[in-house]
Amino acid sequence: MDGMQAQYATDEYGRPFIILREQGKKTRTHGIEAIKSHILAAKTVANIIRTSLGPRGLDKILISPDGDITVTNDGATILGQMEVEHQIAKLLVQLSKSQDDEIGDGTTGVVVLAGALLEQSEALLDRGIHPIRIADGFDRACQVACEELDRISDRVEFSRSNTENLVKTAMTSLGSKIVSKEHRQFAEIAVDAVLQVADLERRDVLFDLIKVDGKVGGSLADTTLIKGVLVDKDFSHSQMPSEVRDARLAILTCPFEPPRPKTKHKLDITSVEEYRRLREYEQGKFADMIKRVKDTGANLVICQWGFDDEANHLLMQNDLPAVRWVGGPEIELIAIATQGRIVPRFEDLTAEKLGRAGVVREVTFGTTRDKMLVIEECANTRAVTIFVRGGNKMIVDEAKRALHDAICAVRNLVSDNRVVYGGGAADISASIAVSKAADEIPSIEQYAMRAFASALDAVPLALSENSGLSPIETLAEVRSRQINEGNSRLGIDCAGKGNNDMKDQFVYDPLVSKRQQYLLATQLVRAVLKIDDVIVSGEAEE
């Protein structure tokens, strides 16, 4: 009785009977078999992502449980929204997220590489090589590959006046996205936004000062960069002026209403006199609040909370334009941009705490006359907002994700201006270098290093496959040319320009992004190779 377990028992009358329980359901895979099942799960996830790689990569449509759809080819977004049950597949989701958090771009490539490495390690396990020896060989090969990346990297020179190289890098990042129709425009917006907030001396980019906002309507070509802050609000009263010049902003987080007791309270008004006194008290309080704001010299109020119609009317009568219900993150951004202080109580309001901006105006667009507020010529000129337009919500969301990747690619170049060439050129060079290094190693790890070299070819193979080229022939041709010509800039011609030199095609990848992909994928594969059993807590065998 294979996989069955017999148990002897007696019933309440003492009669014996035998219980046969099938154990097969409980059987866990151990050792190499477990590692292979993990590799299969990871390969399945990597194969889903593969087709999204490169400028000719295809998009995925993701449907949430409540029916919302997302169309994207951003690796981190696809994996983040996929319903993944297997534990190892969840590790791949975290892998793409860590690439996204650290670098911001290259989330698809890192998963494809990890999947290829695991596929190669499966063949090595079949040959009887111990998982830890494979992992050691991969670590060694990763070191060689990173050294090769350093060797073939080029420095990209740029300045605030000469941004062409940065634009080319942003265009490489955007090439695979839905916005590639407005390729150049989006790349220039990303570069302008980063340079506006970058500190080139410290090689630092303050991401908090870049806000990406979007509204459905218009086309992608209507996307603009606003040198200031855009708030999805309008002035609280329709008769307030739609533009305030030389604005001095009082930024309040207290409501425009009379103070109320904190405890549960009940007010009985039994006579006209009492009602009149209450009304006079409230009006006096409103007048006092408006006087305090006016006395500081403020000519615009930004309020985190609402205020009732009476306060709104008084503000309008006193020529004090106001904006209400401005959210926490937005109010912080306004404070940073205008160099004002957020004031929690009217008593604390002083002239020094006011923010300053050259012009605050309402903009209207569309037949619905949608209104938004633009704060421009701020005291802190570094705050910028990218305002994305698109035909539907799906396109606006994907354009925002594409801009995030492009901004991150430019940010990486500001902090380290070394690049390697894209189109799989760097991967092929690293693969050749690892193969050469493997020939000089006497130990069994040379097998793992050769496998690593084969896995590096997965990126150029996927690129050529997604571009409709014959993958193996294309890779073989480019690889042999790289070896014979000693030219590490040759890659896969995805765009069909008839030229394999990626420097001529201006296909750049930041060095930090590529190196991080290799390191993260190798770390993950090492972790997977070390797991030979999965024990679910609470389901111990009886």
Written as one string, the DSSP assignment of 339-375 is T--EESSGGG--GGG-EEEEEEEEEEETTTTEEEEEE
Q: Please name the amino acid found at residue 212.
A: V
CA separation for the pair 258, 48 (Å, rounded) = 59
Give the residue among 309, 168, 337, 318 at the shortest CA–CA distance from 240: 318
Residues in the chain: 542
| Each residue's pLDDT tens digit, 198-220 | 887 788 888 878 888 888 888 88
Q: For residue 280, what is the enclosing H or E element?
A: helix 272-295
Strands (E), 270-424: 300-303, 322-323, 342-343, 355-365, 370-378, 384-390, 418-421
Q: Is 370 a catalytic residue?
A: no
Q: Which CATH superfamily is domain 31-155+420-530 in?
A: GroEL-like equatorial domain (1.10.560.10)
Task: Give the number of other CB atoms < 10 A from CB of residue 339.
Answer: 15
Give the residue among 533, 540, 448, 541 at the shortest CA–CA distance from 33: 533
| Each residue's pLDDT tens digit, 72-100 | 888 888 888 888 878 888 888 888 888 88
Q: Where are the domains of the chain?
A: 31-155+420-530, 228-380
Give the residue among 131, 190, 209, 167 at the shortest CA–CA distance from 381: 209
Q: For residue 312, what is the enclosing H or E element?
A: helix 309-317
3 state DSSP class of 20: strand
Q: Is 474 a catalytic residue?
A: no
Residue in 107, 223, 474, 522 annotated catalytic: 107
CA separation for the pair 147, 48 (Å, rounded) = 30
pTM comes to: 0.81
Check: CATH 3.40.50.1970 for 228-380? no
Residue in 51, 74, 397, 457 annotated catalytic: 74
pLDDT the model gives residue 521: 93
Q: Across the 542 residues of the chain, what is the mean pLDDT of every consecutive 10-residue run?
A: 56 64 48 84 87 85 87 85 83 88 85 91 89 91 92 84 83 78 86 86 81 85 86 82 84 78 70 84 81 85 82 82 84 86 85 85 77 81 85 87 87 86 89 90 88 91 88 90 88 81 84 91 91 70 46
Residue in 139, 405, 457, 493 annotated catalytic: 405
Give the residue among 92, 184, 71, 116 at the shortest CA–CA distance from 454: 116
Q: Which residues of 399-428 are buried (b: 16+ CB within 10 A; e: fewer)?
A: bbbbbbbbbbbbbbbbeebbbbbbbbbbbb
Residue in 51, 72, 108, 474 annotated catalytic: 108
| Each residue's pLDDT tens digit, 344-383 | 888 888 888 888 888 888 887 777 777 888 888 877 778 8
The answer to whether 514 and 149 are in contact (CB under 8 A) is: yes
Q: Name 40's Cβ contacts closer than 8 Å, sequence gap at least 6.
A: none
CA separation for the pair 321, 319 (Å, rounded) = 6
Give the residue among 411, 527, 439 at the shortest CA–CA distance from 103: 411
pLDDT the model gives residue 476: 92
Q: Is 405 a catalytic residue?
A: yes
| Each residue's pLDDT tens digit, 97-119 | 888 888 888 888 899 999 999 99
Q: Is 270 a catalytic residue?
A: no
| Each residue's pLDDT tens digit, 160-173 | 777 888 888 888 88
